[in-house]
Structures are given as C-alpha cells and as structure tokens.
Amino acid sequence: MVPCKQNNRRRNQMRLIVDQKNTAVQGGTVPVRWCLYRKELEELERRGVNKPHVLIVVRNNNHEHRQLVPMDQMMAYVQFHRFGENTIHAAVVWHNEDNVKKLKSFFLEKYSRLSYEHGVLRLDEKLGFKEYYSSNGQSYNRLDETAHVTVMVPEEFFSKEPSRFEKWWVNLFFEYRPVDQCQFRRRRMLAYSVQPFAVLAWVIVITIARFIGALVLSIAGMRGTDWNPVIHPFRYPTGDIKKRVEKGDSVFWCKKDGEKYPLMFRAFSPPVLLVLSVLLVGLGVLGEWTFSYTLVPWWYYAVVGVVLPFVIAAVAAVAYAAFTLVWILLTALIFKPIINWIANNSDAWEQKRMERKRAAKERKEREQKAAEERLLKERAAMHEELEQLLACNGELQPSINALPQTKRTIHLRFLDLKAQICRPYAQ
C-alpha cells in the first residue's frame, strides 16, 4: 500500500493522504491524514484563528457523509457508506468567534437521515466547496485552499446484512438502520435483554388504547373505522384507526351517499341514548351526595353574604389607620436622625467609592493586558506547533503509528480498533 496521489489542481495547497492500492482503498473505514503549506498556516495566524477544524465530506453521487475534527488532530478515520467511486473533500473551517458548538451545529445538522441542513459543496461537485457560509447572522469561514481525492471502495469491505427477522427485531425501536456492525451489536445487546419485556408491556398498553379508540368509533357508528392497528400493532400505526373516518359520517346520522336521516331518528340513535344515560346517572349520584350531607340551613349563606363584606371593610380601615400612625411616629423618632447622618457622610462615601472603582478599573486593565499578552504567546506557540505538526514536509503516512507520540490519543486508538473490527453496511 502506498499513499494515494492528490487530485488537487494547484500545488502548495492542502493535501490529503489516503492509503490505497491500485486506486482502491483497503477497507470500509480508512485513516485519512492532512497537511498544509506555510502560506496556509500563516493565513490562519494572520486571521487570528484559534480553533480551526477540518471539515471532511465523503461524496458518492447524491449521498453525503460529513465529519468535523480539530485540525491539530492530524488525521481522522473516514467510513464509507457506499461502494464504488467515492470522493473525499476536505477544508479548514472556523467560526468567527471560535464557537465550536455553533460550528458543529452548522456543518453537521441534518433534516433527514441522508440530507444536511446546510449545503457546503457547489452544485457541480468537481468545483469543490462553496466560498462563504452564513446562517442566522453567524459567519463561518474557510481557507481558500481545499483538497479532494477520489478513491474506489470495493463491495467486499461492507458487511453482509443480517436475517430479515433479526434486522426487524433489533431495529424495532430505532428510526434509522445501523451504519456499521458495532452499532448493530449494541442494539442487539438491548434487543435480547431488556427489549422483550419492554415490547410486551408496549403491546399490552397500545393494544388496549387502540381497542378503546376503535370501540368508541364503532359504537358511534363511524364508517371507515380500521381495526387493523389493534390486530397488528407492529404493522400499522395508531393513526390508521381513524385515517379513513370522515367527520359526521356515522351510520346513525346519515346514509352512505351523505343524505342525513330525520332529526327524530338521530335524536334517538344509540350514541345519543348512551350519552344521555351517562348524564342522568351522573346527575343522580351528584344530587344524592349533595342534598344528603347538607348541614347548614339556607339562610346562613344569605346572612354571611351580606354581613361579611362590611366586617372585612371595617377591619381593613382600622388596620390602615394603625399602620399610618405607627409610620409617622417611626419617621419622627428614628428615621429622621438616620437620614440626616447619611446625608452628612454621603460625600465621603462617594469619594471612597470612586477611588475603589478607579482602582478596580486599573486592576482590570492590567489583567486584560496580561491576558492579551498571554493569549498572543499561546497563539504564537500554537501556530508554531501546528507548523511543525501539519507542514507538508516529506512523505507522510496515514497511520496512527506515524503520528507524534502526543497525538496518539485514546480517541484515535479507539477509532483505529473500531475500523478493524466494525465493517460498515452499504446504504
């Protein structure tokens, strides 16, 4: 295996390095490494970019898959989801305010399983990335220099589909099918442990709820009531019970052609009689409970209703007068000396407050200046490190073992292991 050749049009721009043999990659998930030239790194430093990321887009016809990784990670693992010719596009992007959360939200947000909210490639894929991105007043930038490489992905590197029943059972509570074997195995652990009990409880609850809904519609004589969701809880959604039911289309109210029955016939139809019976029984129970346990005579409510408001008003008036008198006494005896003392010392207090404010402002300016100097030093050190790590010098290998020791992170080691044991499913 040898590092693949670049398909970039110009020299001295971002490069992608992928292992391939005779233009074909050697797995469904492959390591991809990138490097930049000095002018690109200097451009990042000139713009004051602190958190640059590499946006990787894998394209196969209209199928697109993206990932966003920190640029100083040096490499990523790209998983293919379709066999045949795939193009890997890469660009260095950043948010104007170094907000990584917003950056990920913009580039990775989806509105469906296979479609992203914001397009990043031109309509003609061969022209690469769009020049500028913005959304909701936020600006997202990228370096002018981008990279892309086209590879062939053999069908043999994709996993075989599980049996029809197991695929249905394992993915029963998931909206989308698994992307690789690892995701399928995690779902299968749940499917053969907790899921049977959860499914049993769900079937009982949903069947009872659907049965009640269908029964109510049937008692009302609604045409088009569908009992299939009750009989087949997995095959039909709950909404299908009333999907073909039209408003007012009851066998007790009108004929099939829409002609309504006479009013007397509708007034004495089974649904109306049932509702009337329930109301009469309810009123009877309520009346029995109310009149059997009434302990206070009727005139009591009349007396209380007339006298009580006057009593409340008199108490409120006395309370208000007492509060006013107490407030006047407190103001004359206690509050007035205190107010005079505060007025005599307010100038001295104001002077001390201004001195403290001035000292705090000077301290804040010193701290801000020190922070800016520290940030400039850190930024210079970061760009110097990036130049050492990401410079396109010599022959680079897309392998975790070829990275500096400090960059062989646990995350990359995990992705390397996953690439070896988890084959993707062809979408």
pLDDT value at residue 309: 57
CB contact set of 67 (below 8 Å; sequence gap of 6+): 55, 56, 76, 78, 108
Q: How far is CA 127 from CA 130, 133, 232, 250, in A?
A: 8, 16, 51, 61
Q: Domain coordinates of the chain in residue numbers? A: 2-158, 164-193, 197-268
107-116's contacts with Cβ under 8 Å and 24+ in sequence apart are 107/55, 107/66, 107/68, 107/140, 108/66, 108/67, 108/68, 113/175, 113/176, 114/63, 114/64, 114/427, 115/64, 116/64, 116/66
- Alpha helices, DSSP H only, in 70-222? 100-108, 164-170, 181-191, 195-219
Instruction: Give residue 68's pLDDT.
Output: 94
Burial 212-232 (b: 16+ CB within 10 A, else e): ebbeebeebbbeebbbebbee
Residue type for position 245:
V
The Cα angle at residue 206 between residues 203 and 212, in degrees rounded to 5: 130
Q: Report the C-alpha gap between 185 and 182 in whole angstroms.
A: 5
Q: What is the pLDDT of residue 415?
A: 92
Grouping H, G, I as helix, E, B as strand and the rest as coil, residue 49 is: coil
Dist CA 296 CA 280 (whole Å): 27
- pLDDT at res. 331: 73
The pLDDT value given to residue 5: 47
Distance between alpha carbon 214 and the CA centroid of its chain, in Å? Answer: 35
Number of DSSP helices (H) and strands (E) in the chain, helices first:
11, 13
Name the token pair of 404.
Answer: 């500096």
Place of tokens 């009013």: 263
Q: 135-158: string of b/e by CB count within 10 Å (b at 16+)?
A: eeeeebbbbebbbbbebebeeebb
For residue 176, how far is the Cα from the chain centroid? 16
In the three-class reduction of DSSP (H, G, I as helix; E, B as strand; rest coil), residue 9 is classed as coil
- 2-158 belongs to which homologous superfamily? Immunoglobulins (2.60.40.10)
Cβ partners under 8 Å of residue 85, min gap 6: 60, 150, 151, 152, 153
Q: Are 424 and 29 in contact (CB under 8 A)?
A: yes
Which are the contacts of 97, defined by CB distance < 8 A and separation ≥ 6? none
- Other beta carbons within 10 angstroms of residue 390's beta carbon come to 23
Nearest to 52 by CA among 377, 368, 387, 371: 387
In contact, 29 and 153? CB cutoff 8 Å: no
Residue 261 is which amino acid? Y
Positions in the chain short of pLDDT 50: 1-2, 5, 7-9, 293-296, 298, 301-302
Give me the pLDDT at residue 137, please. Answer: 67
- Dist CA 392 CA 297 (whole Å): 99
CA-closest candidate to residue 418, choices 73, 76, 53, 25: 76
Cα–Cα separations (whole angstroms), residue 41 to 72, 81, 410: 12, 32, 27
Inter-CA distances, 276 with 29, 198, 225, 281, 328, Å: 69, 40, 24, 9, 67
CA distances to 34, 196, 239, 274 from 208, rounded to whole Å, are 58, 18, 15, 22
pLDDT value of position 208: 92
Other beta carbons within 10 angstroms of residue 204's beta carbon come to: 11
Q: Which residue has the tokens 């305010």?
A: 97
Grouping H, G, I as helix, E, B as strand and the rest as coil, residue 203 is helix
Residues 6+ apart with CB under 8 A from 349: none
